[in-house]
Structure 1
Amino acid sequence: MFRHLQTILAGLVILTAGAAWAQSGQIAFGSEPHDNSQPVEVTSDNLDVDQTEGTAVFTGDVVVIQGEMRLSAPRVLVVYTEDRTGIERLEATGGNVILVNGPDVAEGERADYDVQTGLMDMQGNVILVQESGNTVTGDKLHVDTAAGTARMNGRVKTILLPSEEGN
Structure 2
Amino acid sequence: MSLLLYPAASAFALPSDSAQPIRIQANAATLDDKRNTAVYTGNVIITQGSMRLTGSRVTLTTDANGELNKLVTQGGPATYQQTPEANKAPVKARAQTIEYHAADERVVLIDKAFLEQSGNTFQGDYVSYDIPAQVVDAGRNSSSGASGAESNGNGRIEITIQPRSRGAESAAPAEDASEPAAP
TM-score of Structure 1 vs Structure 2, range by shorter chain: 0.5 to 0.7
Return the alpha-carbon distance in structure 2 between the equivalents of residues 87 and 108 of structure 1: 21
Cα displacement string for residues 55-101 of structure 1 (whole angstroms, at most 9, x for unaligned residues):
11011222334564332111100112123x22221111123111112
Q: Is the 8 A contact 1:44 1:59 kept in 2?
A: no
Query: Residues 88 and 66 from structure 1, CA distance in 2 versus in 1: closer, same or farther, beyond 3 angstroms?
Result: farther
SS in 2 for 1:127: strand
Q: Summarize the alignment of residues 36-115 of structure 1 with structure 2, pairs less than 5 Å apart.
A: 36=11, 38=18, 41=22, 43-45=24-26, 46-65=28-47, 68-83=50-65, 85-102=66-83, 103-115=90-102
Q: Pairwise CA RMSD of aligned residues?
A: 2.7
Aligned length: 132
Q: Percent identity?
A: 24
Report the CA distance between 1:135 and its aligned residue: 2.5
Query: Residues 75 and 47 from structure 1, CA distance in 2 versus in 1: closer, same or farther, beyond 3 angstroms?
Result: same
Amino acid in the other structure paired with 1:120: V
Query: Residues 160 and 144 from structure 1, CA distance in 2 versus in 1: closer, same or farther, beyond 3 angstroms?
Result: closer
Aligned residue number for residue 135 of structure 1: 121
1:123 has 2:110 as partner: yes
Q: List structure 1 segments (4+ residues) > 6 angstroms apart after TM superposition.
A: none
Aligned residue number for residue 150 of structure 1: 136
Query: Residues 145 and 161 from structure 1, CA distance in 2 versus in 1: closer, same or farther, beyond 3 angstroms?
Result: closer
Structure 1: give runs of 5+ residues left out of the alignment. 1-33
SS in 2 for 1:36: helix
Cα displacement string for residues 16-74 of structure 1 (whole angstroms, at most 9, x for unaligned residues):
xxxxxxxxxxxxxxxxxx96295893512221111221111011222334564332111
Report the CA distance between 1:130 and its aligned residue: 3.0
Query: Residues 116 and 66 from structure 1, CA distance in 2 versus in 1: closer, same or farther, beyond 3 angstroms?
Result: farther
Cα displacement string for residues 74-131 of structure 1 (whole angstroms, at most 9, x for unaligned residues):
1100112123x22221111123111112222111000111123211211111112233
Return the alpha-carbon distance in structure 1 between the equivalents of residues 48 and 131 of structure 2: 11
- Return the index of the structure with the highest Cα Rg: 1
Report the CA distance between 1:158 and its aligned residue: 2.0
